[in-house]
Chain A
Amino acid sequence: MAAVEITEETKQQVERIGSADVVVGIAGTVSPEELRARAGHIMQELGSGVSSLRFVFAWPAPEPAAEAAPAAEDSTFAMLPFSPPALSAAEFWAGVSANQRAVLNLAASLNARVCIVLGPDLAALDAHSIQLFAYAILERQCGLAIPVYPVAKYDGLINSGILSPLSRALYGRRVRNPLAFDFAASGALCAPLARVSPSAETAGNALLWPVTIAATQFPQVPVGQVHIGVQHKVATEGLELSAVLGQLTGSIFQEMDACASHWQRIRGSQATPTWGNGSENQPDGQAIDAQPLLDSFLLGSKSLDEVWRLLLPPNTLLELKRLTRATPDQFRIPDDVWASIVYDFALAYRLRTISRVHLLGALTPLYLGWVASWVREVSNLNSAAAEQRFEQFARAWEEKKPYLLSRWRWPDRFNP
């Protein structure tokens, strides 16, 4: 396993600082002045409660020499710019993950007790979030603390529709955001999380899935969740849905293949302790016109029939055929059918039934069909009810896991 390399300049800075209790790292380029000002403000807000802890705020600076700001501001916190890993600008999530790994690596070098990784938009850089993350790791002895965002029911649909239920069914941890912008890790987990697994490295798809690593390599380490009241603004301009969907699902399928021996032994899921107060008053959102999504699904089913036939069993194809004939009001993809579709795609990804680029591209119309079905269903529910509906949806994935196990172990067995 390869770890992210630390440049000589950054090493010198690390040596100058020596050690830290809490490392707060930003996984993206930010304005050093803004970061410094907000760090000072946070330290003031945290006050005497953390006076015994030494904080280090780290951020990727494209030119460390130019950004070589004073390393130590005062006795309680220090600023640490580091050289960002070389990345392709096209792969947004890969860039975030690489910076997260760099921060974790720095925290390991500083022998930090807690490493808090935050998104580049600095939305979670506030005293409350940092306090909650530190509380989960230091006070409640969690190895990993994952955030729960106050998302509206039409937000983060790739996460709700695929990533979260799949991760939960596979690794048995009920985590709402397995691929989060922000999270905190204990000192012991920093170094393992900073490493890139060989399988992900060779696939060129090295996203960081902290929950997967914790569940497979440290099954005894507790994982917690904290409610942080922030919403990240992802710049969607220039990002194509099929490309992002392909990158995210491709990465989770890759991890699934690499960790097959672990998740095949896991049955059911365990509740994750959660701290902080979730926002109760989420806007319910207006009704959505799902017709364009439905049209994309129908176009896909008309044109990609020959591709889907290579990936999906006859039963699922029959179900999809039935859906194409349903009226818009009746259109609903059952939870177990959607789960089995994603499982079949994961299996085809592993077996390379068709080119992986084609396989991930062929998932997009199906995903849009699921989105159409989901938004219609939750449009009349408030946020709390939608969350309950999600719980039911995720349970269906767990109940369908024996199907995945059977297909994974005996892919050539007759499957109607």
Chain B
Amino acid sequence: MWQQVEQSLHLSMGRVMNQIATLLPGILAFIVAFLFFLLVGWLLSLLVTRILSALRFDERMGRGAHAMAEWSPRATPSLLVGRIVFWCFVIAGVVVGGSALGTSEHIVSGWMLGYVPRVVGAAILLLAGNVLARFVSRSVLITGVNLNLSYARLLSMGVRWMILVLTGAMVLDHLALGGAIVELGFGILFGGIVFALSLAVGLGSRDLVSRSLEREAARPVEVAQPEKIHHF
């Protein structure tokens, strides 16, 4: 009895050791591949940044109101491109290293590897959505304030959340999570907002709108007063 237990323990131990022995070169290969890509990525990003600086990429990108520089306020555009190159190589290192483990069927399944591009795409979408939401909401806020709209802040917040919700729906759709529920939920949410606004204006504010129109119609034509202050 004891011999049988000992034998089966030996066999189990042998299998574990065998697994570890099989895995170790893979892990080593993963680390080597990852470090290699990290180094290449760092060197290439440095090279790209230098080349772009030499080509006055920042100055060229700085031209116009919708320049790339406007989207990366703290970093220069060339630095931004350099960082994108670096992180692309880091991700490539993880993917190549993962496949180099040689046991992708067991540890990093084919599904997970196939899913990586989706995750990368979703991360880019999320980042772009966040940047866009911040930029557009700030634009709306400043324009609203300069137009003397007392509800500029509310408007800006609404625009921000609209873009964030849209981004969230796109990210979930890109990750293939939730399936039709996301599309349906988003459709209902957006449709609901528009419907609620229509009802609010059409029913709730009917009297207000009619009174406002009557007041406008009854108002005598104002003669434009000459401006007393001249800014330029």
Contact = CB atoms under 8 A, between A and B. Distances in A.
Contact of B63 (A204, A248, A355, A361): A204
B63 A303 contact: no
B21 interface: no
Contact of B230 (A156, A295, A299, A352): A156
Given A357-B65, A358-B139, A244 B232 contact: yes
Interface stretch (B87-95, B104-112, B142-150, B172-180): B142-150
A203 B231 contact: no
A69 interface: no
A239 B232 CA distance: 10
Nearest to A199: B59
Contacts of A202: 56, 59-60, 62-63
Nearest to B144: A303
Given A155-B230, A156-B232, A299 B70 contact: no
Contact of B135 (A236, A293, A355): A355
Contacts of A303: 141, 144-145, 152-153
Contacts of A296: 145, 148
B49 to A, nearest CB: 17
Interface in B206-230: 227-230
Contacts, number: 95
A174 to B, nearest CB: 21
A154 B230 CA distance: 6
A304 B141 contact: yes
Interface string A364-383: 11000001000100000000
SS of A interface (majority)? helix
Given A202-B62, A353-B73, A355-B73, A234 B142 contact: no
A41 to B, nearest CB: 29
Nearest to B69: A352
A375 B229 CA distance: 9
A361 B146 contact: yes
B83 interface: no
A202 B59 CA distance: 6
Interface in B113-168: 135, 138-139, 141-146, 148, 150, 152-153
Contacts of B152: 299, 303
B74 to A, nearest CB: 7
27 contacts: A154-B228, A155-B230, A156-B231, A157-B231, A199-B59, A202-B60, A234-B230, A236-B230, A236-B232, A240-B146, A241-B231, A244-B231, A245-B231, A248-B232, A288-B228, A296-B145, A302-B153, A303-B141, A303-B152, A307-B138, A356-B70, A357-B65, A358-B138, A358-B139, A361-B139, A362-B142, A365-B146
Given A202-B59, A356-B70, A357-B65, 8 more contacts: A156-B232, A157-B231, A157-B232, A234-B230, A244-B232, A285-B228, A286-B228, A353-B74
